[in-house]
Amino acid sequence: MKYQTFNEDIIRLVGGKDNIQAVVHCMTRLRFTLKDRSKAQTEELKKLGGVIDVVSNNVAYQIIIGTHVNEVHAELISMLGLSPVTDDEKGTDAKKNPLKAVMDLLSETMTPVIEPIIASGLLAGFLSLFSITGLISADSPTYQLLDSIRSAVFFFLPIFIAMSCAKRLKASPYLAVALAAVLVSSSINDVAGLSIFGIKLPQMVYANSFIPIILAVWFMGRLTVLLNKYVPKFLQYFLNPLLIMVICLPVTLLIFGPIGIWIGDGIGWFFEVLHNTFGSWIVVMLYAALQPFLIMLGAGNFMMPLALNFVNKMGYDPIFLAAATISDIAVSGAMLGYFLRAKDAKQKQLFGTVSFSALMGVTEPAIYGAFIKFRRPFIAVMIGGGLGGLFAGLMKVKTYSIVWGLMGLPSYADNQDISNLVFMIISVVIGFVGAAIAAFVLGIPQEEKGTEKTTETEVATGTVTNLKKVPLGNVVEGEVVPLAEINDQAFSTGALGKGLGIIPANNQIVAPIDGEISAVFPTKHAIGLKTQEGIEVLIHIGIDTVELDGQYFDTIVKQGDIVKAGQLLATVDFSGIKDAGYDPTVIVVVTNTVEYLDVIPTVQENMLDDGACLTVIL
């Protein structure tokens, strides 16, 4: 999980899980309902990296994160075991891209399961090494006892998967695990001649599989919602678990089991065609070169289901796990190249630390701490990782266990395949050395020195040339309020970007510029817009109006709509908002202000239809 450590710190500093009654979010902040606010360590929270500010008022205990708060919130509620659907998020699931939803599900399901999988994979690798060197015989009781860890983890994989995805799919984790246990039991798993209700069942192996149980748990979640709606509450405790199990088992055996196997076979067929047409080397090369980008996008675990499918079907993964290892160690090499190139002591410490962590298979510190800032390491990994992946693909390197990283190398000698281990070591060395050399040659971008910041006066008077000005039109008629005077610390401090406030004189909110609606919050109090130049505009209607849950708001547009400057976005009953006791000030900020030379608010005291409220200097 991308924000796991960050969320763990937040949970600890607000008083622990037991002190959290509920948590929702708006466009920029987490809003906690705490049982006892005195337990929250507000000053420590303010010092936490990633926290812009903390606001505690009679509305809620608010931790201001920024516009990526929805990602933080999604992981936070998962860690807390709360439902991902809250009052402030009604209707968001329906608009989610189906493919992205499936990829998110697979990625997030695999994340908690990786721990036992890595343990069993590493153990299998070392047992193979010990067997080859003669330290432990493969026939000895010690070997067989330790090997049972590996075999048990993969045999009972459906149980781990069921527990991992149940809450996300709105199913009971315990009923999901019970269903998975039934599927891998000796009465069903790989048993021929079974039938139910007179219908003959195909002989299927559910052990080691993951797709059938995910489909089954998805159905269980849907069925649970349906039963909770129609079964009387006084009968639900006793009747629902029975109905769920009795309905889900036959449906899984008749429908989801075969579908899951067909999907798995289809994945295998696709890569077999790819292998026969182009050669698997091209996929290995591309994945080894591009994995840091996938990690940055939060899709680093998408390859796990594919690798599992290969291991289940073929006994080894010919593509992804080897490529992931080569890429991780190439990241380490790139950071070593920067370590050797750097002269500043603090930079050397950073590059050395993240290089070692990447060598151990943990690349996020390098990617988020150095790659995003300096960018050139991405090119270095594409060179080194690509070359290492190319060699591994051409030599047909096989990964026999679900494991990656330096510690997983012994597993490549499984089945006495010494040449496979040698080829993998050579691939890793190519990736590491190639990335290190490329990073050293590319160098560390030097920050510009001696440049003076352009002032607002110079820009406004036109004394600075070669600057492109992008005006943002008015969003609502009314009296202009400087951002510093807004009664909300997140905005008044400029932490969310430069902008201004407008005390509205009419009820119409219009688009300030041509662009795409990037977000419409479910409670309708905030709208995001992104222009063709990449300018990200946040229109926040009122202060703390998220609590109104959409009352007094009528939003005309939806996420993804293309709008023109002056087009109506929403109508708002500002009188009703004021009568309800809320500040109606409309706040307009450019949330990615740091990407531009400056964002200059208007000097007018009143905004009219034809005025420009902000000017962005590119």
Residues acting as catalytic residues: 26
> Which residues, 6 or more positions from 450, have their beta carbon under 8 angstroms from its beta carbon?
none
Burial 581-611 (b: 16+ CB within 10 A, else e): ebbbbbbbbbbbbeebbbbbbbeeeebeeee
Q: Of 119, 308, 146, 122, whose CA–CA distance to 211 is shortest?
A: 308
Instruction: Extract the tokens encoding 516.
Output: 């795409």
Burial of 485 per CB tally in 10 Å (0-12, 13-18, 19+):
exposed
Helix (H/G/I), strand (E/B), else coil: 410: helix
Look at strands 536-543 and 526-530 and give their pairing.
antiparallel
Instruction: Extract the tokens encoding 486.
Output: 């807004």
Of the chain, the end-to-end C-alpha distance in Å amounts to 35
DSSP string, 312-377: HHHSSBSSHHHHHHHHHHHHHHHHHHHHHH--SHHHHHHHHHHHHHHHTT--HHHIIIIIHHH-HH
Q: Of 419, 398, 416, 394, whose CA–CA distance to 408 is shortest?
A: 398
The DSSP letter of residue 254 is: I
Using CA atoms, how far apart are residues 405 and 292, in angstroms rounded to an integer? 14
> Which residues, 6 or more positions from 147, have their beta carbon under 8 angstroms from its beta carbon?
123, 124, 127
> Which residues, 6 or more positions from 210, have their beta carbon under 8 angstroms from its beta carbon?
157, 158, 161, 305, 308, 309
Burial 509-527 (b: 16+ CB within 10 A, else e): bbbbbebebbbbbbbbbbb
Question: Tokens 């990633």 correspond to what residue?
Answer: 50
Instruction: Extract the tokens encoding 258.
Output: 């075969």
Q: Of 277, 292, 304, whose CA–CA distance to 331 is shortest?
A: 292
Q: Of 438, 417, 247, whose CA–CA distance to 318 is shortest?
A: 417
Q: What share of the chain is helix, strand, coil (3-state, %, to 5)?
A: 55, 15, 30
Using CA atoms, how far apart are residues 588 and 541, in angstroms rounded to an integer? 9
Q: Of 93, 55, 49, 56, whose CA–CA distance to 72 is shortest?
A: 49
Say if residues 584 and 578 touch (Cβ distance below 8 Å).
yes
Query: How far are the Cα atoms of 44, 120, 121 from residue 402, in angstroms, in the given order?
Result: 40, 8, 5
Q: Of 353, 296, 278, 292, whose CA–CA distance to 326 is shortest?
A: 292
Total number of residues shown for the chain: 618
Using CA atoms, how far apart are residues 325 and 318, in angstroms rounded to an integer? 13
Residue 9 CB neighbours (<10 A): 17
